[in-house]
Amino acid sequence: MVAEKNNIKRAILYLVIPCYNEEEVLHETARRLVGKMKTLQGDDKISNQSKIVFVNDGSKDSTWAIIKELHEKEQMILGINLSRNRGHQNALLAGLMTVKEYADAVVSLDADLQDDINAIDEMIERYYEGNSIVYGVRGARKTDTFFKRFTAESFYRVMDFLGADIVFNHADYRLMDKKALDGLEQFKEVNLFLRGIVPMIGFKSDKVYYERRERFAGESKYPLKKMLSFAFDGITSLSVKPIRMISMLGILIFGVSVIALLYLLVGSLLGATQPGWPSLIVSIWALGGLQLLAIGVVGEYIGKIYLETKGRPRFIIEDFLK
Ligand code: UDP
Ligand code: MG
C-alpha cells in the first residue's frame, strides 16, 4: 500500500484566497481549509506539499497580523502581502502568479467560504481527468438576498447579451492548472476581469456545481458602488458592443430627425405654421443627451486605452511568507 502510494504522483494543490478586511472570518476559514486539505491528503488525493495561501489586499484591519500568526502556527499556510488595496481581481492575480511555479493546480476562492469547499474534491477529480480549468458554478442562490441575486444574475445576462463569453453564475471559484496559469500570464491587460479572460485561455475545461451560502461572519466587501463599477469594468473591458449600440442609436435618431424635418418643412410650405418651440426644444435635448452619452461611452474606452498604455503594475508584493 505504502509503496503504491509513493508511486502515484499526487498533484500539489494550492488554494489562493484574496482577503480584504477579513479579520472576522480568517481564523474560522483557516481552520476549515486546513481540515479540508488534511482530509484530501489523508485520502491521498493531493500531495503533502499542498498549501493554503492568503493574499492580503491592503486591509485596514488586523488581517495581515492574523495571516502571519496562522503562518507561524501552521506550516501549510502561506501569506502574501500586497503593498496596498488593489481590488479582488488583482489580489487574486497576485496570488495565482506567485504560486504558479510551486503548484500543479490552484483553486481560488473567497475568504468568507460562501462557496462550498466540498466542491474542491470534485474539481480535483476533474483535474485528474485531464481538465486544465474547472469552473465552480452556483447551482442555487437561495441564501443571497433578492437584491444581490437579481443584480448578479442581471449582470450575467447583460454580459451574455453583449457577447462576452462568460460562464453563467460562475464567480472566481475555479481550479486552474499550471498550463492554464501560464496562459493567463500572457494576458497583460491592466483592467483585469478574470471570469471574462479565463474562458479565452482555452484548453479542456469542465464545470462543477455547488450551492452558495451566506457569509458566516463579517459583511460583504462588495457594496453596491463596487459592484456597479465591477460590472461596468467587466462589460467595457470585454465588449465593444456598447460603442456600436450608441452608433446605431445615433443613426436611428438622425433618421427620425430627418423625417421630422421633412414633415415640418412640408407643413410650413403648405402654410400650416408650426409654433416651432416644442420640436426645437425636444430636438435640442434629445440630441444633446445622445451626444453626451456617446462621448461618455467613447471616453470610457479611451480611459481604458490610457490605463493600458501606461502598463502600470497590476500589483506589488511587499512580503511573501513561504
Ligand atoms: N476582496 C479583496 N479586495 C477587495 C474586495 C474584496 O481581496 O477590494 C476579497 C474579499 O476579502 C473576499 C472576496 O474578495 O475574499 C469576495 O468579497 P466578498 O465576499 O465581500 O464579495 P461578495 O461575496 O459579497 O460578492
Ligand atoms: Mg462573499
Nearest CA to ligand 1 atom 19: 220
Q: Looking at residues 263-288, what average pLDDT do you find? A: 71
Q: Supply the pLDDT for residue 229.
A: 81
Please tell me the pTM assigned to this model. 0.76
Could you give the percent of the chain with pLDDT greater than 90? 44
- pLDDT band of residue 293 (cuts 50, 70, 90) is confident
Distance 50 CA to ligand 1 centre (A): 24
pLDDT digits (tens, 9 = 90+) for 169-206: 888 999 999 999 999 999 888 778 888 889 889 999 99
The answer for residues whose C-beta is within 8 angstroms of residue 312's C-beta and 6 or more apart is 190
Sheet (strand 51-56) strand order = 205-211, 133-140, 170-177, 105-108, 13-19, 51-56, 77-82, 317-321
Amino acid at 288: G
Distance 19 CA to ligand 1 centre (A): 7
What is the distance, to the nearest Å, from the Cα of residue 314 to the centroid of all Cα atoms in its chain? 14
For the CA of 85, the nearest ligand: 1
150, 156, 221: which to mutate for ligand 1, most atoms within 8 A of CB? Answer: 221
Grid cell locating 192: 483585469
- pLDDT band of residue 318 (cuts 50, 70, 90) is confident
What is the distance, to the nearest Å, from the Cα of residue 138 to the centroid of all Cα atoms in its chain? 14
DSSP 89: H
Q: Is the separation of the CB atoms in 57 and 22 below 8 Å?
A: no
Cβ atoms within 10 Å, residue 80: 26
Across the chain, mean pLDDT equals: 85
Amino acid at 20: Y
The residues whose Cβ lies within 5 A of ligand 2, an ion, are: 110, 112, 114
Residue 145 has pLDDT above 90, yes or no: no
Supply the DSSP string of 93-137, one letter for each residue: HHHHHHHTTT-SEEEE--TT--B-TTHHHHHHHHHHTT-SEEEEE
Q: Is 110 in the pocket of ligand 1 (CB under 6 A)?
A: yes
The answer for residues whose C-beta is within 8 angstroms of residue 5's C-beta and 6 or more apart is 44
Q: Is 106 in the pocket of ligand 1 (CB under 6 A)?
A: no
Distance 246 CA to ligand 1 centre (A): 33
Supply the DSSP string of 47-64, one letter for each residue: -TT-EEEEEE-S-SSSHH
Q: Is 315 in the pocket of ligand 1 (CB under 6 A)?
A: no
pLDDT digits (tens, 9 = 90+) for 93-103: 999 999 999 99
DSSP 314: S
